[in-house]
Structure 1
């Protein structure tokens, strides 16, 4: 997968020993301390916000539920690429996912 968003995520996590990139969920995912944090799918940036953070995330522009077939994955959302064009926006979503993971 060659995607500008993936390249930006790799740069954001560069040098972190606690982060591993894996192929999963139809794209590339980043595991923090062995737990899925975020990743890139065909739809954009996949972010783990937890069921409790889902409604607030979905209220933001360019955010929709993560769907696996017909099933909605409650703990994740997908942020459209145009909603994370800046590095600050991307870093903010990653911080949100890491906060959910307790980091």
Structure 2
């Protein structure tokens, strides 16, 4: 079914606009943040590197330190992304149920933003 996350893979469908707006409210006003459509979602770039993306059905794609992937996926509602059938360390999919509260969403957005900002700036 289009737009339904299946084992960490996003089928093609528009991103969740409500989630995107919630992310904008968290990062709003930061001149270092840009938005770009990618991976079938809306990516939020920090210094040119993607930190988080609003996916479909309220899921959030979060970029983290690959060495933290295993520990983070032990949390309920968090799994590694699969791209072209391959599990991607450092790329997580956080289920909508985890993101219901603003504090939880802010935690994941900050985690993705911090990692993206730790990467060399892109021109």
Which 4+ residue blocks in structure 1 deviate beyond 2 angstroms? 98-103
CA-atom RMSD, angstroms? 1.7
Structure 1: runs of 5+ lacking an equivalent: none
2-structure distance, mates of 1:86, 1:29: 21
Q: Which has the larger radius of gyration?
A: 2
Q: Secondary structure at the match of 1:60?
A: coil
Q: How many residues get paired? A: 103
2:35 to 1, 18, 21: 21
Q: Secondary structure at the match of 2:67?
A: helix
Larger relative contact order, structure 1 or 2 (CA cutoff 8 Å, min sep 6)? 2
Q: Which residue of 2 aligns with 1:68?
A: 83
Deviation per residue, 1:10-68 (Å, 9 max, x gap): 11111110000000011110000111101112261000112111011101110111111
1-structure distance, mates of 2:22, 2:113: 17
Q: If the length of structure 2 is used for normalisation, what is the TM-score?
A: 0.76
